[in-house]
Amino acid sequence: RAKREGRDTVCEFSTLQMQELEDRLVLGARLREAVSRDELQLHYQPQLAAGSRRITGFEALLRWNSPDLGSVPPGRFIPIAESLGLMPELGLWVLNEACRQLRAWHDQGREGFTVAVNFSAHQLQRPDIVDRVREAIERHQVPRGMLEIELTESSLMENVDRVKGRLAEIKALGVSLSLDDFGTGYSSLAYLKQFSLDKLKIDRSFVKDLPGDAADAAIARTIVAVGHELKMVVAAEGVENQEQADFLLEMGCDELQGYHFGRPAPAVEIEARFPRD
Ligand code: C2E
Ligand code: MG
Ligand code: MG
Ligand code: MG
């Protein structure tokens, strides 16, 4: 019996590996041309002040609509892009497109909010990243304080000193820094204070079962306390209903994001939701 289980396991594993290999080959080939063929788009999801429910910003989320494959979720193509070395190009496209959109909104009189861009782990490891951010900001004349960059815990843990220096330079450009999916990686709290991050985003997995799950409530409450102690704004992602929103507000969470307040949508749809000042 044990032998049979063993064999099934091996079989399942290799099917999975085959799927991954196929993904890499098929998606990878298409992905190489996605930028030049104009198949990428950014969607924007609103982020709100927990108390007033006023929009404070938007998170830019990458969408790929391939004529052959249809729409492929970022959770599937980003790891492949990363492993094929395509992420610098995709990441640059995202950064510049978000800055372009920011500038366009600003020119339309839409102000007083941030736009957050996600950085992959490898992006921060590239020696030219500070120059690329500076170029994007200058090219689109992004006002100070309007651009935010979302980082993951793992991206901070590699080459800590170098990353620290780069982040300080990026901050000096007027960009604010958020730590995404907080609680799912294994960053040490001791490191946290060294990076002078502006915001912690409580991962959606701790929000999902609120307010009922006592453990998740304790984790969320602890993240809020740590964040505030370190003078950071604390945001929650994946807020899907009113109960979660009320509970998070009550525990002191500053910002909320999730389907309850709006799904990621193209810029034109977003514009209808936030009028000019
Ligand atoms: P993330 O940065 O944590 O983004 C939040 C994800 O949660 C998004 O998925 C968003 O659509 C989803 N979400 C938002 N509210 C809710 C909710 O209430 N319930 C549920 N179930 N989900 C919600 P998406 O767009 O599929 O992106 C997945 C991940 O892919 C992102 O997670 C991020 O890690 C990565 N990603 C997306 N765009 C980019 C990008 O431009 N660059 C990089 N490097 N990574 C990106
Ligand atoms: Mg994010
Ligand atoms: Mg997140
Ligand atoms: Mg997340």
Q: What pLDDT shows up at residue 250?
A: 98
Q: What pLDDT shows up at residue 2?
A: 43
Give the residue ranges of the chain where pLDDT is below 50.
1-3
pTM score, whole prediction = 0.93
Structure tokens at 225: 């306390």
Whether 183 lines ligand 1, by a CB cut-off of 6 Å, is: no
Q: What pLDDT shows up at residue 185?
A: 81
Whether 78 lines ligand 1, by a CB cut-off of 6 Å, is: yes
Q: What pLDDT shows up at residue 14?
A: 77
The b/e string for 146-171 (b: 16+ C-beta within 10 A; e otherwise) is: bbbbbbbbebbeeeeeebeebbeebb
In angstroms, rounded to a whole number, what is the distance separating the alpha carbons of residues 61 and 47? 13
Which of 31, 39, 48, 61 for mutating ligand 1's site (highest number of atoms within 8 Å of CB)?
61
Q: What pLDDT shows up at residue 237?
A: 97
Q: What is the tens place of the pLDDT at every residue in 245-264?
A: 999 999 999 999 999 999 99
In angstroms, rounded to a whole number, what is the distance separating the alpha carbons of residues 258 and 205? 12
Q: What pLDDT shows up at residue 184?
A: 87
Whether 153 lines ligand 1, by a CB cut-off of 6 Å, is: no
Closest CA to ligand 1's atom 21: 238
Whether 244 lines ligand 1, by a CB cut-off of 6 Å, is: no
Q: What is the tens place of the pLDDT at every residue in 26-79?
A: 888 899 899 889 999 999 999 999 999 999 999 999 999 999 889 999 999 999
